[in-house]
Chain A
Amino acid sequence: MSLPGRIRTTIARIRYSAASIGRRISVGAGHAPYALLLALLVAAFLLNVGIGAVSVAPNQVIVIIARHLDAHLQALPGWEAVVDAGSRLGTFPPGAWMRDWLAVDVTRQQDAVIWTIRLPRVLMGAVAGAGLAVSGAALQGIFRNPLADPGLIGVSSGAALGAVTAIVLNVTVLGIWTLPVFAFVAGLLVTSLVYLIARHDGRTEVVTLLLAGVAISAVIGAGVGLLITRATDQQIRTVTFWTMGSLGGTLWNQIWIVALVTAVGIALVIRSGQALNLLVLGEREARHLGVHVERTRTLLMFTTAAMTGVSVAFTGAIGFVGLVVPHLVRLWLGPDHRRLLPCAALMGASLLLIADLVSRTIVQPLELPIGVVTSLIGGPFFLWLLIRTRRQQGGWA
């Protein structure tokens, strides 16, 4: 094909794609999906805080959280002034029935369950779910591959290697932080290794990157297997639990780290939404349209690796969320990344919370590993969706 011809085809293709993207956008109405997803997240959040082995009534939950917030905010200068101003505006809460409702006793046990156990756990679930889902969406975008998930760039297998090393070799140098630090650092190292192998002459190639990721994950899997042959049965049991994930042991000081990394990560990914849209057209086309393909890819790869690494480090490997949530959103709202990414964050957070609710209530006071729940519910649901979509649209959108 001649050069002008090629340009013409390219432009036509861009026009067509842009038009189809525009159509998809106009289908989803305005801010409704955000409102819906936000409502879902709030509902999941409230259910998670309210339900558990120890029963705490909703009014007690409100009292407990309000008391703790008040106690913490007292350290802030000006908080007293705010409270004063508030009380001058009128009595709070308004209405006698509400005052009566909130005049409720709280046991020390209930206070502990809500504030030191459920809230950190629920926040961790929301943050990890959002991070995993956005990572999955971003990776599916930059690799233009529907099967991409954080496992593809080696961060999951690397984190597993770090965690298993810490467990099997009984490393305890950093106390309670040993396993998370090992998992996070190893995850990033392996991603870097995949990246360095795929990088050549200042650029990376998608296929090389994917294959390098697969190959290195295989090698690392062998390393994990090798370590496990040296493990005792108790260690193997610990490893097994880690690979299925749990939000159970979440502490407040872990939340801040994960939340910070995830917030920055999601912001960076969402900022690249338009670039991801253009990448769908093909690398060359995106480059002609002003996208720094290489820079975007590198940035997103390491951002997702950091997000996935930090949540996997604290919660263990929670499968399926990163792969499935982006597809669910795409089926519902179409492929525009500017909408897909924030919606995936909200939906990932909600779905992980719902999964956690199931995992800790279905056999209470015992718990199921959350990875078991996400796969057990997510797998069949996803298959059903897949088959239904094929029947209705004749194929995967």
Chain B
Amino acid sequence: MTSTSPFVTRRLGAFLAALALIASMAFSPVVSAQTPVASPVSGEAPTPTLPVTVTDSSGAEVTVTDVSRIVTLNGDITETVFALGLGGNVVADDVSALYPPEAAALPKIGYQRELNAEGILSFEPTVVIGDEEAGPPEVIQQLRDAGIPVVIVSSDTTSIYGPVDEIRQVGQALGIPAEGDALATTLETQLQEAEALAATASSKPRVAFLYIRGQGTQMIAGSGTSADLVIAAAGGINAGADSGIQGYAPITPEALVAAAPDVILVMQAGLASVGGVEGLLAIPGVSQTPAGESGNVVAFEDLYLLGFGPRLGEAVHDLTLALHPDLDGAPINPQWQGTDVAVEASPAASPSASPAS
């Protein structure tokens, strides 16, 4: 995995999480009832100042004159638009847009990397907005040729602060720069506070992020991944990266022993897919690590931890507390974490998503 770029690997976790959720949603209608209720920033929809001209990541000057019908191309952008209060204007989004529930319920345009132009145009968008993950490039070009303003925001995928600038660009492109700035500043402050909090911790635990999807897919996150950024921001050492792994590598007993994690970090759907903590410890090599011996497993809801949207600051704060039990403080969103997943009818515990059980 030496040549994989951080750009691609950074979102792998989020994408895989989204896929698994989609799969489980298809088979369990109760999901939406369990998904924590969204709390978009404010009740009132802001009034955009239009037209606005922005230069997007491709260097193209895009003039947006109307944001009454928005199509969003990626999950994190969708979440941002909703958080900015313009969720009511979104007419369709991609299949990885699973939060907030209102976004998940919208008509789908396909998967962010395999879009098709006519499907998007059929929703009669006045503006299409996405990040650099959206593609293929020919389809983006077709939308532009069709005269639709397409804004592709640039994203710094090597920094935990990447989403801050992304939010600002979304705000500018949709004619609500003040709201964008406010949300971006909130996120930036939350991230700084979380890092400051992490700095006061007495220890720096070695954390292995395991990406698990049943028996078939079990990987450990190395450097250049989104999990790596989150762990570092929360005051941990990414044990996978520290033992020389780049990108995601299959879990082997050797890899785990070399990583020697004090804490194992997993996503809730992944944990459920192997039947909870017990199943996780049964993966060869896991119980031989320090984390496995002490049963120190931390689980977060998939998109909360790795969605890299406006909730990232809260997620890093909560992860910091989870990794450092000695720190004082209460998690902001306790409903999106915890290892108690397998017994209850969690989405991923449905038969389709857990081939192991």
Query: Interface on A for B, CB 8 Å cutoff?
Result: 52-54, 108-109, 112-113, 116-118, 168-170, 175-176, 230-235, 237-238, 241, 248-251, 360, 364-367
Contact = CB atoms under 8 A, between A and B. Distances in A.
Contacts of B137: 175-176, 249
Contact of B117 (A117, A241, A366): A117
A112 B121 CA distance: 9
Contacts of A366: 108-110, 116, 119
Given A54-B122, A170-B8, A360 B247 contact: no
B49 interface: no
A364 B1 contact: no
8 contacts: A53-B119, A116-B146, A117-B142, A232-B8, A234-B11, A237-B113, A249-B139, A251-B138
A100 to B, nearest CB: 27
A270 B119 CA distance: 39
B122 A116 contact: no
Contact of B142 (A169, A235, A251): A251
B39 interface: no
B118 A118 contact: yes
Given A54-B122, A235-B8, A365-B109, A249 B136 contact: yes
A225 B204 CA distance: 39
B148 interface: yes
B119 to A, nearest CB: 3
Interface residues of B, number: 40
Contacts of A234: 8, 11-12, 15, 113
Contacts of B117: 116-117, 248-249
B33 to A, nearest CB: 26
Contacts of A52: 118, 122
A58 B247 CA distance: 51
B118 A113 contact: yes
Nearest to B1: A230
Contacts of B248: 232-233
Given A52-B118, A237-B113, A367-B116, A112 B145 contact: yes
Contacts of A54: 118, 121-122
Nearest to B133: A234
Nearest to A229: B1
Interface in B98-147: 107-111, 113-114, 116-124, 136-139, 141-142, 145-147
B202 interface: no
A367 B119 contact: yes
Contacts of B119: 53, 364-367
B16 A117 contact: no
A365 B247 contact: no
A365 B116 CA distance: 8
Nearest to B4: A232
Nearest to B145: A116
B12 A233 contact: yes
A18 to B, nearest CB: 49
Nearest to A237: B113
A282 B205 CA distance: 76
A250 B137 CA distance: 11
Contacts of B109: 365-366
B122 A365 contact: yes
Contacts of A118: 118
Nearest to B211: A233
Contacts of B16: 233
Greatest chain A CB density within 10 A among B107, B137, B142 is at B142
A118 B118 CA distance: 8
Contact of B116 (A112, A116, A248): A248
A367 B136 CA distance: 14
Contacts of A248: 116-117, 136, 138-139
B42 interface: no
Nearest to B135: A238
